[in-house]
Amino acid sequence: MSHPPLPTARPLLDPAPEYAKWLQEPISRVTVWGENSPWLVTRHEDARAVLADPRFSADTTREGFPGLSPFVPPRGPGQFFVMDPPDHTRLRRTVIPDFTFRRIERLRPAIAGICADLLDAMTADGATEADLVAAYALPQPTRVICALLGVPYDDHDFFHQQVRALTDFASGRPERMMAARQALHGYLGDLLAARTREPADDLISRLATERVATGEISPEEAVGVAALLLVAGHETTANMFPLAVVTLLRHPEQLAALRADADLWPAAVEELLRYLTVVHQGMRRIATEDVELGGVRIRAGDGVVVALQAANRDPSVYADPDVFDIGRDSGGHLAFGHGLHQCVGQSLARAELQIGLPVLFDRLPGLRLAAPAEGLPPARSVIHGLGALPVAW
């Protein structure tokens, strides 16, 4: 029996249109590639249940796991987001101290300084237009995660190139992805060795001196953890920024309210996260035993795709879910996932958006799009976004 394909493309600001139908049939089969036909979970309640249930494994090495592509390279050491406990627990706890809410709050002045520097460069010599992605959306979270990790920002062209190749699942070129991973891990391995000899006040130094030196994790695992944080630490926020700007410019009354009252920004960021849901390929899992979910029996060995973009538009949780409304209570959204694997960097992502968006609109009050957004190239990433966003002011 054939099943409908899971869409890989979507409109600029909304989920793929197929999800409206799937929300009426909240658990059904889809095809992700070849003969791999996992269950698709769309309802908010069911999505939370799957992501919180240890019977649904994130281990990509399990046979039949519904990965993003049949061409995914083998799992490397340190990639705790695609592991189950106890390895997931052991590796994740090595970085939690650097991503606590309190630690991230102390980074806010530094993030604000980075935003100011980027806006100074954008407006230098009386400039009145720029590509917002290249000038602001990509460098802001990149500079932040580089500072946190201890990665020299001067090397950003190199690792951006590797990240683009590593996350280009659509290309069907596993050898290119593997080469990019090896290059990135080689670079970070050299950096770990340097920090072992001469530690600094950064996360890679702490991995070297507090985790590897004590035997808690191996050097290869430390490199894998650092690579994961470097990639995830800038890709999601970099893709959120241009979509958030487009959304706000298309809702001028709400943007005016934000400009008039800065206290509204945290709630607006939560609504942007819910509304846009840039992690749009879903959270992938595989059942390790039979599970009853929403009246459907999911058998051991069945794959599951949790459709975050559908769950965040579930009308049983959010009234008029397709309407962008900074006044709504967006609490409980699943943009960062849920449960054991909920994004470890969510406080950092929130801070980057809560700081970066207000200062952008404050410094450039006449900000406007310089080209129709729907005609712009998409981001070359598994994260939904734009490859460029020409703006003027």
Q: What is the pLDDT of residue 26?
A: 84
DSSP string, 46-112: HHHHHHH-TTEE--TTSTT---S-TTPPPPPTT-GGG--TTHHHHHHTTTGGGGSHHHHHHHHHHHH
pLDDT in tens, 66-99: 987 777 677 889 999 999 999 999 999 999 999 9
Single-letter residue type at 132: L
The CA R_g of the chain, rounded to the nearest whole Å, is 21
Cβ-count burial 79-116 (b if 16+ within 10 Å, e if not):
bbbbbbeebbeebbebbeebbeeeebeebeeebeebbe
Beta strands 283-287 and 303-306, pairing class = antiparallel
**Nearest partner of 27 among 40, 17, 37, 18, judged by Cα:** 40
Single-letter residue type at 309: Q
Q: Nearest-5° angle of CA 228, CA 36, CA 274?
A: 50
Q: What is the pLDDT of residue 175?
A: 78
pLDDT in tens, 119-175: 999 999 999 999 999 999 999 999 999 999 999 999 988 888 888 777 766 665 677
Q: What is the pLDDT of residue 163?
A: 80
Residue 236, pLDDT above cutoff 80: yes
- Which helix (H) or strand (E) segment holds residue 116: the answer is helix 101-123
Residue 218, pLDDT above cutoff 90: yes
CATH fold of 18-366: Cytochrome p450 (1.10.630)
Cβ-count burial 12-34 (b if 16+ within 10 Å, e if not):
bbebbebbeebbeebbeebbbbe
Q: What is the pLDDT of residue 172?
A: 58
Residue 246, pLDDT above cutoff 80: yes
Residue 34, pLDDT above cutoff 80: no
pLDDT in tens, 272-314: 999 999 998 899 999 999 999 999 999 999 999 999 999 999 9
CB 278 within 8 A of CB 386: no
Question: Sheet holding 390-392: strands in order across?
Answer: 129-131, 390-392, 368-369
pLDDT band at 234, cuts 50/70/90?
confident
Mean pLDDT value across the chain: 93
Crossing angle of helices 156-166/219-249, nearest 10°? 90
Both tokens of 213, joined, read 């030196």
Q: What is the pLDDT of residue 57?
A: 97
